[in-house]
Amino acid sequence: MKTWLALITVFLCISCDDGGITIESFDFDQATLNYCYQEQGYLFYVLNDAEIEAVLAQVTLDPTVLLNDGVYSIVLNGSSQKVVYRIFDQSVTQDYFCSAIPPTSPLIRDEYTADSGIVELTSNIDYDDFDGLTQIQESPLATDTDEDGIPNYYDLDDDGDNVPTLFELDLFNTDGDNDPLTNPLDTDGDGVPNYLDPDDDGDGILTINEDSNGDLDPTNDISDTEIGADYLNPEVAEGFNTLAYREHTYEVTSDLTVILRDLVLVRSGEEIIKDILILGVLPRFLTQDVVMTPTLD
């Protein structure tokens, strides 16, 4: 009987052991990644379901590096780049982590600091020109109809005629299918929709040059009010030498995945070793509005 009790005791100790120490659970599989920005840099953190354990990663970095696709690795140094695992004496709320003044409760029962490891930040970049078309609708993504250096999927004027793509689609949705590409405008009926046609009315004058007032906007140059803008009126075929594209804008967003690798957490000689700990994903972690004017060759 004593032998069985001894074996049971050994089994129970092993079952809650990680790296030679006894910890609460270290289970963050279902945790939601959150973050805040502080004077010390970015603080990424996860809180377990019981709300008494947390992993915190504090890093300093230039956030603009995360506006490019790729992996950015930060080696922990215990000061400006550090990770801690905390166990609290009672449940803790999200407000605890980003308070300007540290709250007096709950108390930190145990804390382990990373002696070594890497914070891996993977940035997945997306672009949006808000032209009414999705990236799938503008595939393949390398397509650049007007060859202005901006791929169609984030070029607000795909054909480079100074009329935004948004104004050259199925504007009236007469078929009711809410798909801008099923019946896009094709003024001259040549089979090329206006948003990809540099000469929308087929009069031999490029749309970009049917800009009599020279304001880089062909939509407000109207000789016949009954028909509309000159670039849609084949009876008006007077061209002007337009020397520039209109200003372009698009949005860049970064979805961020935070992973801890080769993590060694220590406290008074005790260790928790984790080869990999996926903290989670932060959709639209960063956004940037880009304003630029492509060169008209």
Two tokens at 153? 């999927």
pTM: 0.82
Q: How far is CA 287 from CA 59, 122, 125, 199, 256, in A?
A: 19, 15, 10, 35, 11
Residue 22 above 60 pLDDT?
no
Residue 19 binned pLDDT confidence (cut-offs 50, 70, 90): very low
- Range with the poorest average pLDDT among 37-41, 113-117, 213-217: 37-41
Mean pLDDT for the stretch of residues 236-244: 97
Confidence (pLDDT) at 14: 36
Distance, CA of 221 to CA of 266 (rounded, Å):
72
pLDDT digits (tens, 9 = 90+) for 206-220: 999 999 999 999 999
Among 186, 207, 195, 175, CA closest to 131: 195
Nearest Cα neighbor of 207 from 246, 149, 250 is 246
Mean pLDDT, to the nearest integer, of 26-32? 89
For the chain, give every domain's residue range.
2-123+254-292
